[in-house]
Amino acid sequence: MYIRNAVVTSELAIRMAVESVRNKNILPDVELNITRYYSYEDESSLSAIETFKMVESNVDAVIGDADPGLTRASASITSLFSVPQCSAASGTFGLPDRDAYPFFFRTVGSITSHAYALGAWMKNMGWETFSLLYSADALGDRVADILNDRGEQYGFYYARSYRFSHATDESIEQALTELNRSGSRIVILAFSRPYQQVNVLRKAREMGFMSKGWVWMVADDLANNFLQNIKDDDDGDAVTAYNGLMYISTLWNLTGLPAFDEFQAKWRQQPVPSDYSDPSNWTTTSLNYGAAQAYSCLELLTLGINKALDQYSGGREKGLQDLASDTFNTSSMTPMFYNFNYSGPAGDLTFTDTGDLRNGYFRLFYLQNGIAVPYANIRLDSYESINNHIIYPGNTQEKPPDIAIHQYMNPTPTSPLGIAILTVCGVGLFFCLLMAILIFFHRHLKPIMISSPVFCYLQLLGISMCYITLILLVRQPTPATCVSRQFLFCMGFTFVVGSIIAKNYRIYKIYQNVFTIRTSRLKSSYLLRLVGIFQIFVVVPLAVWNIVYRAQVVSYQLFETDFCWVCEYPTAKNGQWGRFNLAQMFVLIWLFLLILTACFLAFKTRDVSSKWSETTQIAYVSYNLIVSASVMVPGLLLGNDYYDISLYLYVASLMFGSTFTLITIFIPKFVVISRHILQNSKKFNIYRMNSDSQNQMSIHSTNSMDQNIQLNLVAKNMYDFTVQAHEGILPVKKMAKFDFLSIWTLKHVVLVPFKKYFILSEKSGENATVYHYVSCEPALVGSTNHFTFRVRTDKSMYFLFQVYDRESLDRWVNWFNRDPSTERGISPNAGRNNDDNNNDPDDPPTSPDRAAVKVPKSESATFGNMQSEMLYNSSTPSFQQNSSIPQSYPTSSSLSRSAKQGPVGTRSITSPYASYVTNSNFDVSGAPHVTSPYTSFTTSNPNFGRGNLPSNQQNSFGVINENAWQRYP
């Protein structure tokens, strides 16, 4: 139907054009003869034969054909013989091929000329970006090139472009998914085969993209074939589902153009051809079949021949002669030859070198309930709105933006997450600065000195860097902030963990062996170099990566309207996995090893909290850091699709870890410094005076209580023997199967050679344990400067003890190896001279000077601070006369060597070791002086051997010297 109407109307228009040419006297010396040749739609071979007959009849120009396929066949033949051909109905893209059809041009618009018009459409709508889906052929590539050129001219550009070699469902779905993620919402389709664009539109509808916020423009007249296809769909809503779908078509009604108005007036006066299918609409729609374009074809061809005659090489006469003899040279009559500012019923026509219209007249339509509704015209790149009521997909009149309204997930200063970050980090940074100032001005306080102010500064710096990293997460990132965040976080984390390792390492070494405190490897300068080495392993990989590759900030779509700004390295072909790269992986592994080291040292020093004030806090921080890292790592490894989850994991773990470290380590220091400042600010502290008085009263009351207990115990006669013990505070190590599992610890050591056991307890007297031993010998532990001896227990356990010098080593080994029989001063088989003739090992030795003295068995041990002779000899002053109230055992010891050796001497055992006493020497009036080979002491008791005691002897490290007798219940 369409082709028949096109043939009928075109033939009528050509006859009208011939009459017009004659009336205008365009070719006064040339007679125009119009011959009609027939083509066969179903018989292409017959059409080709007909075309050959036409060429053999020596025609000078051809107009046709109405069918695109037949036009292509005829154009190929006419081009072989250099016969100009003009088409008024075929808009097929394949025809404008300069190599295949060099003498073909057309007055009807094609999809490529539509592409020129779409540039004006984009410009007028105010959109700056669009996406193109096109076929992988000459048509699609040509449209892509035209739109790219138009974009440079009008200021818009591609957001995405997808080239389809085979428009399969899988490839279409993948392209539409990526298109949706890109955020581009203006989509233009340019396919050489109509079914391909129908498949794309159907898939877009299925995926929910034929909805509000989208614009779909088809760069071809799809109304007839597309509507017919969608009507075949089973879905009853298929027609209305495509409401708002737009397309562009050639505009035939050029009312207002003088040439068209004149032509239309003459057209309406023509009789209706008998072969026209719809005579009733002759005056309204008959020009829609290309009559004006056929009219313009004839005028262009005649004007072209006239121009060729005027420019003929032998002159016009020569041209007329050749034209009459069928030897006219038409080699110059290519499409560009006809660009002589022609204006006719089809408008102002200008051609490209391929024969297409450079500019044309087009109309824009949108579909509404299956009906094409025009809303604008484009006349020679000029946009004319004819309908302000434009329906877009989703049945909305709201014009969509070219890019979807982005709701970025990145924190902002006004978002809840951004407010939380700025608040916590602001308070944290202020407290870090405050603590740095307070520590600097009070660095000589003992608790601050113990915690190493230098490492406190590094920890505060590291925590501050972590807080700044979180602050840089707020607002849209830049390449500079992307790089800064990496360095600040990794370096800050290393400062915190490295300082913890350095401080805990020093504590560990001191706790393992007290004598290593003098080594240079425990100095802060050495440990600072260690922290510097930790930083090198962090800075170098990040620096190398960022020098080789440049960071870029890209917008990534999470959902339909949710986007995020992410930092990526697009030039990195290898070692880049989303937002995670090779350098970050290396640094992450290194930081994890540092955390494990910190936790290991925290575990090894978990029992030193009573000696080092920060040990407990450091242990808590170390364990917390590994928990925080375990939460953070999955967030770093998640892809961009899980940006929101990754963001919250990263922020929560880093904020919690930094704040927990700040509170745990520095709040106790803040309290100590605050108390110090408050105490110094008081001129007169009544509370402290009252406290001192109460303390004195408490001490007096306690002493009186101890004296009463001692008297009661003596009265009950609960003691039956006296033994010798040695006491000291020594480094002790319980040997394990693997040496690194055992550490040196400072222990309170009490040795009782007579009973072949020793007691190990904390310095405070808690957690006492008794071990029976079988042997003791000196031991070498790798350094000649360390003096150690090894003790084996009856349970086959081994203990290493360390002393200061060789003299102390020999003394302790002798004490451990002392024979209990020699401790009593008699042979093991010696008998006793007593009333019951029993050999009691608990009785004291009997000397010749005291052989006559009767010593009851119940009085063979003496206790308290009184003289033993008061219990042995009635000739001595009475107990009541010479005894004094026993005083409590002093808790401090005096040094007999230099201060560096620690407390030394032999002492009686205080509570809680009150079941062992030192068998000290004593003097009886009138009796010879007895000297013990083991101990020497002084006493302040005026009733105890005045002037008869030997002077205090030098003692070596590891033994505490006390002068008081002790009692054991």
Please answer whether residues 108 and 290 qualify as being in contact, where contact means their C-beta atoms are separated by less than 8 angstroms.
Answer: yes
Report pLDDT digits (tens) over 758-767.
999 987 778 8
**Encoding tokens for residue 467?**
């807080």
Same domain, yes or no: 544 and 433: yes
Same domain, yes or no: 432 and 473: yes
Q: Kindly report the number of other CB atoms within 10 A of residue 282's CB atom.
A: 17
* C-alpha dihedral (44, 48, 51, 55), degrees to nearest 10: 170
397-404 mean pLDDT: 88
Lowest mean pLDDT of 45-59, 317-331, 429-443, 528-542, name the range: 45-59
Residue 535: predicted pLDDT: 94
Same domain, yes or no: 244 and 309: no
* C-alpha dihedral (395, 559, 158, 186), degrees to nearest 10: 0
Residue 515 banded pLDDT, cuts 50, 70, 90: low
Instruction: Please check whether residue 699 lies inside any domain of the structure.
Output: no
Residue 230: predicted pLDDT: 65
Burial label, 26 (beta-carbon count in 10 A; 0-12, 13-18, 19+):
middle
Please answer whether residues 218 and 192 qualify as being in contact, where contact means their C-beta atoms are separated by less than 8 angstroms.
Answer: no
Please answer whether residues 333 and 84 qualify as being in contact, where contact means their C-beta atoms are separated by less than 8 angstroms.
Answer: yes
CA gap 483, 581 in Å, rounded = 13
DSSP states along 21-52: HHHHTSSTT-----------SS-HHHHHHHHH
Same domain, yes or no: 315 and 449: no
Q: b vs e for 424-439, b when ≥16 Cβ sit within 10 Å of the residue's Cβ?
A: bbeebbebbeebbebb
Residue 48 has pLDDT above 80, yes or no: no
Residue 370 has pLDDT above 90, yes or no: no
121-131 mean pLDDT: 91
487-508 mean pLDDT: 90
Report pLDDT digits (tens) over 634-654.
888 887 888 888 899 999 999
The CATH number of residue 520's host domain is 1.20.1070.10
| Last residue in a domain, options 357, 372, 403 | 357
Residue 229 banded pLDDT, cuts 50, 70, 90: low
More confident: 369 or 799: 799
- pTM for this one? 0.50
Residue 275: CA atoms inside 13 Å, Cβ hemisphere, count? 12
Residue 514 banded pLDDT, cuts 50, 70, 90: low
Distance of CA 8 to the CA centre of its chain: 72
Instruction: Please check whether residue 605 lies inside any domain of the structure.
Output: yes
Residue 721 has pLDDT above 60, yes or no: no
Instruction: Please check whether residue 921 lies inside any domain of the structure.
Output: no
Same domain, yes or no: 528 and 454: yes
* Nearest of 262, 293, 287 to residue 357 by alpha carbon: 293
More confident: 147 or 574: 147
* Enclosing H/E stretch for 203: helix 194-206
Residue 470 has pLDDT above 90, yes or no: yes
Residue 235 banded pLDDT, cuts 50, 70, 90: low
Residue 532 has pLDDT above 90, yes or no: yes
| Last residue in a domain, options 357, 377, 408 | 357
DSSP states along 111-159: HHHHHHHHHHHHHHHT--EEEEEEESSHHHHHHHHHHHHHHHHHT-EEE
Same domain, yes or no: 86 and 230: no
Please answer whether residues 47 and 74 qualify as being in contact, where contact means their C-beta atoms are separated by less than 8 angstroms.
Answer: yes
Report pLDDT digits (tens) over 59-108.
889 987 777 777 878 888 888 888 999 988 877 766 667 778 889 898 88
Same domain, yes or no: 76 and 204: no
| Last residue in a domain, options 671, 693, 717 | 671
Same domain, yes or no: 327 and 303: yes
Lowest mean pLDDT of 429-438, 635-644, 820-829, name the range: 820-829
Instruction: Please check whether residue 494 lies inside any domain of the structure.
Output: yes
268-294 mean pLDDT: 85
The CATH number of residue 15's host domain is 3.40.50.2300
Same domain, yes or no: 276 and 247: no
Residue 676: predicted pLDDT: 87
Lowest mean pLDDT of 92-96, 678-682, 963-967, name the range: 963-967
Same domain, yes or no: 331 and 189: no
Residue 862: predicted pLDDT: 31
DSSP states along 220-251: S--HHHHHHHHHTSS-TTHHHHTTT-EEEEE-
Number of domains in the chain: 3
Instruction: Please check whether residue 150 lies inside any domain of the structure.
Output: yes
Report helix angle 44-56 to 68-80, nearest 10: 40
506-525 mean pLDDT: 66
Range of 174's domain?
Answer: 113-251+363-385
Same domain, yes or no: 601 and 456: yes
For 114, list phi and psi in degrees, rounded to 5. Answer: -65, -35
* Nearest of 196, 98, 188, 177 to residue 148 by alpha carbon: 188
452-460 mean pLDDT: 92
* pLDDT, the chain, mean: 77
More confident: 42 or 704: 42
Instruction: Please check whether residue 139 lies inside any domain of the structure.
Output: yes
Instruction: Please check whether residue 753 lies inside any domain of the structure.
Output: no
* Number of residues written out for the chain: 969
452-479 mean pLDDT: 93
Residue 410 banded pLDDT, cuts 50, 70, 90: confident
Residue 880: predicted pLDDT: 36
Same domain, yes or no: 550 and 621: yes
Tell me 963's DSSP state: -
Instruction: Please check whether residue 613 lies inside any domain of the structure.
Output: yes
Report pLDDT digits (tens) over 867-892.
333 333 333 333 333 333 333 333 33
Residue 769: predicted pLDDT: 92
Q: Which residues pair with 20 in a beta bridge?
A: none
